């Protein structure tokens, strides 16, 4: 499941999407083989885990703002979204590790749901035909957030290097966004806007992360708090580690020992170019340490 990497968030997201796909289609098959009207399945089952265009229905099923981003009813919809998620998510984890993947995905999905409902209800041309507008389903907005965040971090990162040196990441993102942009001139305008809004939050997330403001911290703290409810011993150990960190290692906001590194802008640029071309995994330990020191002292 984790392909040899502990805490592989990308694989967990794909696994959750796959499990939801199996569950909803199992219910759909049961309806069909049981002789029930399949339309009842869409109304009584799938409709309760997707974001409906009517704002009033969102109030009666608030959990749908989370469940919709993991729910795919169609086979090709599921496959295409997971391929997009894999393409961009692999690069994001290669550059930043596992910490940012899930928060960006969730931010994109939540913002996308909000903009979907607002768009459908704000424009008369859409509101007049709201009964025929399909609900918002799938990880499109969440994946767009991951795609744009990754591209903002490393626009020159190249994939498929066997094709004349590779395709820059920004080209793939532009194609991804153009598909959703084309939807705005149709009844699918709400879906197109939702996906693009997810991309916007991905851009803002990464820009703030690069400037030292990590929007994912509160999610990690909430997750740790929740998990510690079921493991009191782990909570005590975490508290002891935090105490040691605050009262010894960070006393006066200074570390007990810090290796000095003479920073050189040309060296920093060379390392950043290497990341853009090959990814973080190809850096040596010395290059990673050098870049980390530079980010602390120069805010890179």
Q: Do residues 102 and 246 share a domain?
A: no
pLDDT digit string, tens, across residues 131-144: 889 999 999 999 99
Kindly provide the b/e burial profile for residues 100-130, where b requires at least 16 CB atoms within 10 angstroms of the residue's own CB: bbbbbbbbbbbbbbbbbbebbbeeeebeeee
Q: Do residues 78 and 156 share a domain?
A: yes
Domain harbouring 30, CATH code = 1.20.1540.10
Average model confidence (pLDDT) across the chain: 83
Q: Do residues 224 and 135 share a domain?
A: no
Q: Do residues 43 and 162 share a domain?
A: yes
pLDDT, residue 167, reads 81
206: confidence class by pLDDT, cuts 50, 70, 90: very high
Domain presence at residue 29: yes
Mean pLDDT of 8-35: 93
Name the percent of the chain lying above pLDDT 70. Answer: 83
3 state DSSP class of 158: strand
Q: Is the pLDDT of residue 108 over 80?
A: yes
What is the residue range of 16's domain?
Answer: 9-210
Closest CA to 65 of 16, 14, 117, 17: 117
C-alpha distances out from residue 128 to 56, 117, 192, 194, Å: 16, 14, 18, 19
Q: Identify which has the larger pLDDT, 126 or 253.
A: 126
Domains in the chain, number: 3
Q: Do residues 32 and 172 share a domain?
A: yes
Q: Is the pLDDT of residue 5 over 60?
A: no
36: confidence class by pLDDT, cuts 50, 70, 90: confident
Domain presence at residue 2: no
Q: Is the pLDDT of residue 242 over 60?
A: no
C-alpha distances out from residue 145 to 78, 105, 106, 150, 267, Å: 17, 6, 9, 8, 31
pLDDT, residue 262, reads 58
Q: Do residues 22 and 76 share a domain?
A: yes
Tokens of 39: 């339309």
Q: Do residues 177 and 231 share a domain?
A: no
Mean pLDDT of 56-62: 90
Domain presence at residue 258: no
Q: Identify which has the larger pLDDT, 240 or 295.
A: 295
Domain presence at residue 117: yes
Q: Do residues 30 and 134 share a domain?
A: yes
pLDDT, residue 135, reads 94
pLDDT, residue 249, reads 47
Q: Do residues 50 and 88 share a domain?
A: yes
Domain presence at residue 75: yes
- Of 65-69, 94-98, 255-259, the one with minimum mean pLDDT is 255-259
Asked if 137 and 67 touch (Cβ cutoff 8 Å), the reply is: no
Instruction: Please state, as a whole number, how many other Cβ atoms lie within 10 Å of the Cβ of residue 49.
Output: 20
Q: Do residues 205 and 222 share a domain?
A: no
Mean pLDDT of 58-78: 94
pLDDT digit string, tens, across residues 166-201: 788 898 899 889 989 988 988 889 999 999 999 999
146: confidence class by pLDDT, cuts 50, 70, 90: very high
Name the percent of the chain lying above pLDDT 90. Answer: 48
Q: Identify which has the larger pLDDT, 298 or 269.
A: 269
Q: Do residues 202 and 163 share a domain?
A: yes
Domain presence at residue 88: yes
Domain presence at residue 146: yes
Closest CA to 215 of 63, 102, 114, 95: 102
Mean pLDDT of 24-48: 90
Domain presence at residue 145: yes
Q: Do residues 125 and 249 share a domain?
A: no
Q: Identify which has the larger pLDDT, 153 or 234.
A: 153
Q: Tell me the whole-structure pTM to 2 decimals.
A: 0.75
Q: Is the pLDDT of residue 257 over 50?
A: no
């Amino acid at each position: 499941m984790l392909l040899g990497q502990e805490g592989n968030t990308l694989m967990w997201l794909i696994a959750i999407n796959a499990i939801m796909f199996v569950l909803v289609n199992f219910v759909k098959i049961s309806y069909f083989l049981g002789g029930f009207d399949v339309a009842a399945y869409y109304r009584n089952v799938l409709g309760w885990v997707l974001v409906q265009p009517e704002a009033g229905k969102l109030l009666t099923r608030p959990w749908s703002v989370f469940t919709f981003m993991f729910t795919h009813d169609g086979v090709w919809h599921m496959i295409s979204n997971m391929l997009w998620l894999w393409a961009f998510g692999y690069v994001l984890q290669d550059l930043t590790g596992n910490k940012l993947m899930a928060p960006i995905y969730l931010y994109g999905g939540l913002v996308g749901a909000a903009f979907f409902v607002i768009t459908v209800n704000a424009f008369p041309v859409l509101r007049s035909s709201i009964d025929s507008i399909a609900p918002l389903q799938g990880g499109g907005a969440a994946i767009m957030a991951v795609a744009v965040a990754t591209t903002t971090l490393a626009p020159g990162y190249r994939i498929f290097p066997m094709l004349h040196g590779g395709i820059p990441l920004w080209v793939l993102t532009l194609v991804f966004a153009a598909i959703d942009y084309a939807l705005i001139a149709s009844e699918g305008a709400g879906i197109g806007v939702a996906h693009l809004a997810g991309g916007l939050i991905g851009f803002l997330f990464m820009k703030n992360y690069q400037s030292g403001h990590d929007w994912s911290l509160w999610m990690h703290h909430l997750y740790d708090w929740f998990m510690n409810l079921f493991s009191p011993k782990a909570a005590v150990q975490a508290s002891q580690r935090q105490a040691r960190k605050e009262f010894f290692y960070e006393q006066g906001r200074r570390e007990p020992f810090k290796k000095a590194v003479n920073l050189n802008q040309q060296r920093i640029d060379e390392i950043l170019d290497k990341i853009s071309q090959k990814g973080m995994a190809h850096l040596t330990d010395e290059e990673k340490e050098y870049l980390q020191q530079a980010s602390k002292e120069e805010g890179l």
